[in-house]
Structures are given as C-alpha cells and as structure tokens.
Amino acid sequence: MAPGSQGSQLAALNAWVAEVAALTRPDAIHWCDGSDAENAALIAQMQADGTLIQLNEQSHPNSYLHRSHPDDVARVEHLTFVCTAHKDDAGPNNHWMAPLDAHAKMDALFDGCMQGRTMYVIPYCMGPIDSPLSRCGVEITDSPYVVANMRIMTRMGAPALARIEREGSFVKGLHSIGELDPERRFIMHFPEELTIQSFGSGYGGNALLGKKCHALRIASHQARSEGWLAEHMLILGIENPQGETHYVAAAFPSACGKTNLAMLIPPEGYRNAGWKVWTIGDDICWMRPGSDGRLYAINPEAGFFGVAPGTSAKSNPNALASIQHDTIFTNVGVTADNQPWWEGLDDGQTAVTDWRGNPFDAAKGPAAHPNSRFTVSAKQCPSYSAKAEDAQGVPISAIVFGGRRASLVPLVFEARDWTHGVLVGAAMGSETTAAATGAVGVMRRDPMAMKPFCGYNFADYFSHWLSFDHDDAKLPKADLPKIFHVNWFRKGDDGKFLWPGFGDNLRVLEWMIGRVKGEAAAVETPIGHLPAEGDLNLDGVTLNEEGRAKLFGFDHAGWQAEFASIGDYLDEYGPRMPQALKDEQQRIAASLA
C-alpha cells in the first residue's frame, strides 16, 4: 500500500508509482521498508525459486550465491545511453538518444513486463541519512535480488522515505529484468529529468540503479549544477604515528585495485610504528566545498560490490574478512562443502561447480566469472571508519588518479597545480578489464576513471573541475587538495610487475602526505614532480636495477609521444574543450620538445 496522503510531499511519488504500475501491470505492489523481517521473507522466497542458493552455514553464515544469466555478467556500455535534449550536452563520451525516442522505446519494453511478478518500490538514500551531501532516489524493480542488494548498498527503506517526504525530490529509477534478452537490453539516463530506466539485465551495475546510474551518471549532472563533484573514487584515511589522519580520494577504473587500496593493510614495519589505514569507501565519492574552503567527501554507498577473483588473504585480508558472513555472492564457483570459491583465493581448496552451475572443468574456463562479485555491508570491514557516517564528510588532503599501464608511466608523480592535475586526470589511460563487456587489455583514455559514468559532455565536465580554481569559486586556492598520479601496474621486460603493490602502496601514500605537508622532497620534470628513489621508505622492498629505473625514471621520448596523443584526444571534443586544458597540454608538450 502506498504511504502518505495525496496532500503530502509524497503525492508525486505515489502518482509515479501508480503510472508505472499501469504500464507494467504487476500482480502485486510491495513498498520496501528495509526491515529485517522483510529481508528474511525475500531471502526465503528467492531460495524457494532458486534465485539464491544458501552457502555453507558454518563457514559463511547468512550468505548466498546468485547465478546470473550467462549473457548478463557485466556492464553493457554500448547499450547505455544519456538522453539529453541536445546531443552535444551528452558529448562524444556518451551514447546519445533523443529523450522522446528513448521514452517511446522503453515504454514499449516496459509495457506489461511485470505481469506475473511483484513490483517492488525501493526508497533509498545515497549517503548518510542526515547528510546535506546525500541525495535520495526511488527504484521500482521486479527483481527481489535487486531489493536484497540495494538494502546492503544504500540506506534503504523507511528513513529514506521520510527524507523524501521532507525534501519532496528524488531520482526516479525504473528497472525490469524483462526476459534477460541481450537484444532487448537498454540502460537509459535522463539527467534533465533525474530519471533512470533499465530493462533486460539483472547484473549489478545495470540493475542496482543507486550505484553507477544514480551515484555517478545522474549525480555528476546534479553536481555540476549544484557546485560539487560526483566521482568514481575510493576514500581512505591514513593515520600516522602522531595520530594525524589525512583522507585521500583516488580514481581507478573498475577492477584496477580500488577495493584493495581502500582496505590497505600497512606493511609490518609501518604497523609496528603506529600507522593505520581507515576505509571510508571503495568506489564512489561525492565532494563538496565546506565552510572552511576545503573539499569534504562522503561515500554515498553503504556497502561494497567488490570483484571476487583475486581477493585473498594475501591481496586483501580486510575484504576477505568482510565477506565471511551476511554476504551475497554473484557468479562465483562453489567447493564440495558448499563454500564460495574463485581464482586467486589461495585457500587450498578448489571448486567442484563453476559459476554457471556446471561441474568445474578448468579446460572449459574459470570456476568464477572474471567479473564475479560480492555484496556486503561496509560496516563488516575490519578497517571500516565510523567517519563514513559523518554528515559533514571527511576533509580531502589529496586526489589520486591511476590506471593500469604496463609501460611508460612511473610509480608516482605529483601535478604542478590544479590545472595540471585536471589535465593528468583528463588524460588518464588504462588497459581495459573484465568489468565491462568487450576486449580486455586494450589501452584507452579513461578520464578520472569516469569514461563509462560521466552523465554529460566530458569537455563541460573538465570545465567544471577547472572552475574550483577560479577566483569566484567557493574554494580558496590554497585549500585545494594536491593531485597525484600512480601506476601500480608497471611491468618489466619479462612481463612481470615491478612494484609489489598491495600494502606496500602505503609507501607511496606516505610520500604524498609528506608533499601535502611540505615535508617530502621531489624532482621536477616536465610531467610533474617525481620522488627520487631515496624519497620513499623502501625498507624491506627489493627492487632490481630495471625496477628502479622504470618506477622512478622519466622516459623523455615516450612522454613526447604520449603528449602528442593527449593533444589529439583533447581535440576530439571540439570547441567545448576548455582552452586552459589545451594550453596546459601545449605547455608541457613544448617543455618536452
């Protein structure tokens, strides 16, 4: 039954729900309250129909396996559209469709699609329920799996509905799994209407509309008009032995180590000295200028939707500890005693059943899909920080960009200033991974790790970033975070990684904080400030001569070619590309010449 009365702020919500019900014709409508009883009933229902399979209750209590359709295992960027009145507002970085055409296409797909199903109405809040930085939405779906995941990933239910009633505004998300037909699958975003429509997929990023669809594509559009930033970034706190905590926001493309960095465990020497790392978020960051002029950030999500393969006691002990109970696993393998399993787990076991539900045969492919996932509450993480619930957010000292680059790019460098930092982010390149459909290992430009997620023209997005350094900005220039670029994935001639990564990445973060405080040295180069090898604490790290040369070196000829390529890339956006960014590219290219 719909809450509220027609005279309340919820009248618009009730009217929309009635409109959707008339179009989709469900057998029943259920308004989600987020309660334990509701969740237990949904879990039981999904176990009964095979949507969820209970895992080993001794090793993984209250944990379940979901197997999605084999053709529905990742984001589908080629079927994801931004529907703005003017095509240029969506930009060449997005697939565009005229809003009238998109609505007509989606209305035809949604027509009668929920017959025989229950329509779930999910009020949710992205961010702490009482934070002025948070934004609310409502997802309508016919998937109980989506409900169960949204309960973990957002602040869902009665408190969110109460906030929507107070504010009277929300993002509208309509989702149906349809027939899971890849030929009838679309994800449409209408940023000017604050509306999302998704049909034909049950996969996380396509179906959990609070995640990439709302928190990035729609929110980035909101952020531009309201003076803040919605970014594909983790947030972590680094506490030094003196008890000071610096917060860092870092952008990496999907499956490039965001979760590992967000939950980093310091090397033994650092732990003994008193260093601690706190996890605020592993994927999305909303930043806004505070009253003191600093950028403050919240994690709009309440949970982790992490990549399972490669997660192990060695690579990410905190993530592994987080998912030992009350977790939904998607598309992983299963052992003989019904425990979840994936490649890289390194627990001495192996799967007997693969992610499709077939007997596991390594000759026919991996046990777990390369993009298999876990959904778990952030509060289960051993490094979780209670600051993640702070209404005002946490102050950001540094912003980090990083991609997966086997060559050219050194371990770390610092941008000269804000404009240079925006160029560093805009020009970011990375090799593609299994988080999206298509070829893996292809180098592509992925500005700020937002290529699949920016809800408007990248040229305008870069202008918005640059605006934070204008004299009329709310942010005093001196208080802007420093910007850095890292590359954990540099390889040697033998094809092996040169940097140990994982916990040892704290050595790089320590240097960054030293730069923020004005205490660490650096070498000036045309591409930015690099640490000399001796500027990082490398106690316990063994690097060969090639490793030292490539991680801390500067390939002059390689960077000349890179900046020529960056210039060509910026030109792809035409006259809307901010001149300040083109001038910065040309300045660096000239210094390299």
Q: Which of 429, 560, 426 is nearest to 489 (CA)?
A: 429
Reported as type and span, the H/E element at residue 287 is: strand 285-289
Instruction: Tell me the catalytic residues.
Output: 256
Question: Binding site for GTP: which residues?
Answer: 255-260, 373, 404, 502-505
Q: Which tokens sit at 306?
A: 């992490």
Per the annotation, binding residues for substrate are: 75, 203-205, 254, 371-373
DSSP states along 488-543: TT-B-TTS-BSS--GGGHHHHHHHHHHHHTT-S--EEETTEEE--GGGS--TT---
Interstrand relation of 528-530 and 523-525 (parallel, antiparallel or unpaired): antiparallel
How far apart CA 340 and CA 65 sit, in angstroms, is: 8
Structure tokens at 105: 């296409």
Residue 182 tokens read as 């890849």
Do residues 332 and 308 lie in contact, with contact meaning Cβ atoms separated by under 8 Å?
yes
- 144 vs 207: CA distance, rounded Å: 11
Residue type, 471: D
Radius of gyration of the chain (CA): 24
Amino acid in the structure at residue 544: N
Give the residue numbers of the binding site for Mn(2+).
212, 232, 283
Show the tokens assigned to 418.
Answer: 């804000």
* Residues 6 or more apart in contact with residue 55 via CB below 8 angstroms: 63, 64, 65, 329, 334, 338, 339, 340
Give the integer Cα–Cα distance in Å for 379 and 124.
Answer: 18
Residue 569: helix, strand or coil by DSSP? Answer: helix
325: tokens are 């109970």
3-state secondary structure of 310: coil
Phi, psi of 464, rounded to the nearest 5 degrees: -65, -45
| Encoded tokens for 60 | 């993984």
d(CA 414, CA 400): 9
**Which distant-in-sequence residues (6+ apart) come within 8 Å of 516 by Cβ?**
246, 397, 398, 481, 482
Euclidean distance between CA atoms 443 and 90, whole angstroms: 23
Residue 223 — left, alpha, or beta (φ > 0 → left; ψ -120 to 50 → alpha)?
Answer: alpha
Three-state secondary-structure class, residue 219: helix
Contacts of 58 (CB under 8 A, 6+ apart): none
DSSP tag of 302? S
Q: Which residues are annotated as a binding site?
A: 75, 203-205, 212, 232, 254-260, 283, 371-373, 404, 502-505
Say if CB 285 and CB 297 are below 8 A apart.
yes
Q: Write phi, then psi, for 237 (nearest 5 degrees).
A: -105, 135
Question: What span, in angstroms and rounded, lies between the C-alpha atoms of 273 and 546?
Answer: 30
